Amino acid sequence: MISIENLSKSYGSKIVLENINLNFLKGKVYGIVGENGAGKTTLFNCIAGLEKHEGIVKYEFGLLKNYLGYLQTEPFFFPKITGNEYIKLLCNARNISITDLGERNIFDLPLHEYAVKYSTGMKKKLALTALLLQENKVIILDEPFNGVDIQSNIIIIEIIQKLKEMGKSIIISSHIFSTLSDTCDEIMLLKSGKIIQSVLKDEFSILENEMKLFTIGNKIERLNLK
């Protein structure tokens, strides 16, 4: 189990995350939703240990980062590294030896080409393939469906289900509510750095409607489209 206690983060005087308390269980999928700038990526970076923060992140097996696969919103790639080499690098980092990469390249990526030249969706699929091959116990997916084609979206949803069955903890953020309602056991709403609501599967539709009403409000009228 991952336990987050009183996690706070600020940049100077700007508070980005405030007193976040969460528990993530094994074999469960958690969704985090919120507007752009709500603090989702910062929260993930803090959980991963990529950013300093106040509060504690506890994991039952020890240092979480050693068991964590993190798919970033925009994975960074070196200018002259092939897809093969990217996967090799990430697997080396976890002392995992990969021999049957061709067979496990389920997204049919051109692994011999430079990763930086891939499309947005292909980059995401490459990063996802690499972190899946790392055999992590916990997986954070920040916007995994962004820029990815519909066929791959279906595969990603199936992968998440499989990982859940394998007893892994999965945390996802997405702006596409349907993808979260298809995969998650619990969805949390992050607003201005605070978790303001947390709902279980049977209440997802209520949350979606509330979000729609709150988000849209009178904004379309304010736009005064002509």
Partner 1 sequence: MKDYFILRFRMFNRQLTEWGIEPIIGYVVGFCVFVFSSNKLFEKTQYADYIFMVISLGVIVSLNEIRKNEFLKLHFSRVECFKIRILENLIISSAFIIFLCYQEKYFNAVILLITVCFLSLMSFKTKANFTFPTPFYKYPFEFAVGFRTNYYIYIFAYFLTFMAISVHNFNLGIFSLIVVMLSCLNYYTTTEDKFYVWIFSKSPKDFIRYKLKIIILYATILCLPIIIGLSVFFYSEIEIILVFQFLGYLFILTAMLAKYSIFPDKLNIRYGIVFGLTLWLPPLLLFIIHYLYMQSLKKLKEIL
Q: List interacting residues with partner 1 (CB under 8 A).
A: 48-50, 52, 65-66, 70, 72, 75-76, 78-82, 84-86, 88-90, 92-95, 112-114, 117
108: alpha, beta or left? (left if phi > 0; alpha if psi -120 to 50): left
Q: Work out how close the CB of 118 gets to partner 1 at its nearest, in angstroms, rounded to a whole number.
A: 12
CA distances from 102 to 93, 108, 129, 152 (A): 20, 9, 12, 18
Q: Work out how close the CB of 90 gets to partner 1 at its nearest, in angstroms, rounded to a whole number.
A: 6
Query: How many Å from the N-terminal Cα to the C-terminal Cα in the chain?
Result: 53
Compare residues 72 and 174 and give the one whose CB is closer to partner 1: 72
Q: Work out how close the CB of 29 gets to partner 1 at its nearest, in angstroms, rounded to a whole number.
A: 23
Q: Work out how close the CB of 74 gets to partner 1 at its nearest, in angstroms, rounded to a whole number.
A: 11
Distance, CA of 31 to CA of 29 (rounded, Å):
7
Compare residues 108 and 221 and give the one whose CB is closer to partner 1: 108
The Cβ-side half-sphere exposure at 87, using a 13 Å CA radius, reads 27
Q: Work out how close the CB of 200 gets to partner 1 at its nearest, in angstroms, rounded to a whole number.
A: 32
Compare residues 80 and 219 and give the one whose CB is closer to partner 1: 80
Q: Work out how close the CB of 99 gets to partner 1 at its nearest, in angstroms, rounded to a whole number.
A: 13
Q: Other CB atoms closer than 10 Å to residue 30's CB: what's the count?
A: 23
Compare residues 110 and 121 and give the one whose CB is closer to partner 1: 110
Beta pairing partners, 31 = 172, 187
Compare residues 104 and 201 and give the one whose CB is closer to partner 1: 104
Q: Work out how close the CB of 190 gets to partner 1 at its nearest, in angstroms, rounded to a whole number.
A: 22
Compare residues 61 and 214 and give the one whose CB is closer to partner 1: 61
Compare residues 100 and 221 and give the one whose CB is closer to partner 1: 100
Best CA proximity match to 34, nearest among 52, 20, 55: 20
